[in-house]
Amino acid sequence: MPEIRRLPDTLVNRIAAGEVVERPSSALKELVENAIDAGASRIAVKLVEGGLTSLEVTDDGCGMSPAEMALALERHATSKLPDEAIEMVSTLGFRGEALPSIASVARFTLESRPHGADDGWKRVVDHGALVAKGPAALPPGTRVRVENLFGKIPARRKFLRTPRSEYAACLDVVKRLAMARPDVAITLEHGDRRILGLQGGEGLENRVAQVVARELKDNGVAIDLERGPMRLTGIAGLPTYNRGIADHQYLFVNGRPVKDRLLTGAVRGAYSDMLARDRHAVLALFLDLPPEMVDVNVHPAKTEVRFRDSQAVRGFIVSGLRNALATGDKRSAQSPDAGAMSRWQQEPVHEEPSPALRSIFETRDWSAPQQRISEAPQQWRGADTDVMAEPRGRAEEAAPVAAEAQDFPLGVARGQVANTYIVAEAKDGLVLVDQHAAHERLVLERLKAAGAEEAVARSQALLIPEVVELEETSCDRLEEAAETLATHGLTIERFGPSAMLVRSLPHAIARTDPEKLLRDIDDDLALNGEALHLGEKLDLVLATMACHGSVRAGRTLRVDEMNALLREMERTPRSGQCNHGRPTWVKLSMEDVEKLFGRH
């Protein structure tokens, strides 16, 4: 029999480092979190080659004494759990694994000086072995330097990426933690360049706009909602302000940056009928709830959480986002395209004739006698008093004078271009409206308001119930969600250990393949823990109905029809974008119009 023995501490630390320290950004995250937990008001981060050569974090927090520094480098030693109530943790770190794990796979230098102490102290650990200790000169606070990460573990070192990729991961970590604490000043230097210089006390909106994108502040809506013990704050970008990847979605739970599938699924559900499936919202959401309602002790990296009542959390986020967007997204996030606007300012260019045309004129002998061009015969002329009567205008009743433009946010219609775009004059500029995109959104909102979702969700019983064979775990997930799916018109029941029986389908998608539908729903359940896929299918059905029932591009509208469309847009939530996330209107300010003509 093999002998059971205790592993040496150095090997235990390296095993733990495999979970905690995956790459330089993982170590950087732990060090910045420690600085925040130490009460720092200023944090400085320095990187060399994306952290592969070295990374350094300096803070002005509480600092540590020499004895505390030695204890901090031991496994599971922490000051962040004063008692054994781990479910009540309120700090970013709490496991006591980060520092010894990092020190076991790199050259680790820890320098610290408590406030009120005359001198600082330093400890240097090289891949788990203490190599130096002694006095250090530094202001009150702590400085940590990590060098030569995985230098003595080539099997791990070769899995690291290029300095550019590692730098991008480190930058993302710093950005997320900077948003979590807008009261802390954070600087980031990479080599000789200063990347970030954030001042403390800027406020949440300003900090998010600085870190994510400055235009988000103008193209987003502020969120501040409460439901029972839960509170949701942050900024949600308008649906027209979107990206092709989901990397610009920043989610926080009790101030902790997380990457949670439930929260991601909730965001997707909130934007489901306002974005195309290949586009993603830009937002920063901060969810605060009592510590006992969330479990943060799920993974050593502390990027995953579990909620006690996941249904309530998801419903709160979806309804909160939708309500916030309904109040603010009548705006359109996209300004006129810069390239298109630049063409307005270009001088007319005289184009030279093509070489073929030029050769015709250059080779022709213009000295040869040519037939004179005579005037057109009388019968080909236009209106002539001898041939036909002159056109005369008819007496018509004068149209009522249009209302003043300043009375309405989207102005008053002045005309139609290409039978597709409505031109309106507003108090502060010129408004262009895509009539089809705008009416498509209005029709969809009418369908929802009229209860069309319930009508679409009516079920149609199958003449012969269909048996769908799936894995047992998939059947378990579908059986748990059967009651929710039945409210959408999909009736299923368990049919043995590894099969489900489909008795009815939603009326609007009655011709779909039951097996493919169940597999897609199961995939969505496994990914998000919620039955989102069917709801999105029903939203897609409504969007398709709205598209076919809306005003088409190319249709001539009367002025009163244009104004009626503009007035309904002003009353309808989410009218700033169509069902696919494209803008329904853009505005050119009067200042920009005057610039086109050189008045400014």
> What is the per-residue DSSP string for 18-76?
HHH-SSHHHHHHHHHHHHHHTT-SEEEEEEEGGGTSEEEEEE-S----HHHHHHHTSTT
Query: Any long-range contacts for 122-125 (C-beta under 8 Å, 24+ apart)?
Result: 123/69, 123/70, 123/73, 125/73
Would you state the pLDDT for residue 356? 47
Q: Supply 40's token pair.
A: 């720092």
| Amino acid at site 222 | A
Q: Which CATH number does 333-341+405-600 carry? A: 3.30.1540.20
Contacts of 333 (CB under 8 A, 6+ apart): 219, 237, 238, 239, 240, 241, 576, 577, 583
pLDDT value, residue 200? 86
Q: At 93, which amino acid appears?
A: G
- The pLDDT of residue 537 is 60
Position 153 scores a pLDDT of 85
Say if CB 291 and CB 253 are below 8 A apart.
no
Residue 320 CB-half CA count within 13 A: 25
Rounded-to-integer distance, Cα 314 and Cα 478, Å: 19
What is the predicted pLDDT for the residue at 52? 94
Q: Can you give the residue ranges of every domain in the chain?
A: 9-198, 204-328, 333-341+405-600
Residues in the chain: 600
Residue whose entry in the numeric block shows the structure tokens 């308001």: 449
CATH number of 9-198: 3.30.565.10
- Amino acid at residue number 252: F
Report residue 53 CA to chain centroid gap.
Answer: 32
pLDDT per residue of the chain (600 residues) written in tens, 0 to 9: 788 888 887 777 677 667 778 899 999 999 999 999 999 999 999 999 999 999 999 999 999 999 999 999 987 777 766 666 666 777 787 777 889 889 989 999 999 999 989 999 999 999 889 999 999 999 999 999 999 999 888 888 888 889 999 999 999 999 999 999 999 999 999 999 999 999 988 888 889 988 988 888 888 888 999 999 999 999 998 888 888 888 889 999 999 999 888 888 889 888 877 887 778 889 999 999 998 899 887 877 778 888 988 888 988 998 889 888 876 555 554 454 555 555 444 444 444 445 544 444 455 454 555 444 444 444 444 444 444 445 444 544 545 545 555 578 888 888 888 888 999 988 888 888 988 888 888 887 776 776 655 655 677 899 899 999 998 888 988 998 888 788 778 899 999 989 999 999 887 677 778 888 888 888 777 766 555 556 666 665 566 656 766 666 678 888 888 888 888 888 887 788 777 777 888 888 888 888 777 776
- E strand or H helix that includes residue 412: strand 412-417
Are the beta carbons of 240 and 582 closer than 8 angstroms? Answer: yes
Global confidence as pTM: 0.69
Place of tokens 């003449």: 463
In this structure, CATH architecture of domain 204-328: 2-Layer Sandwich (3.30)
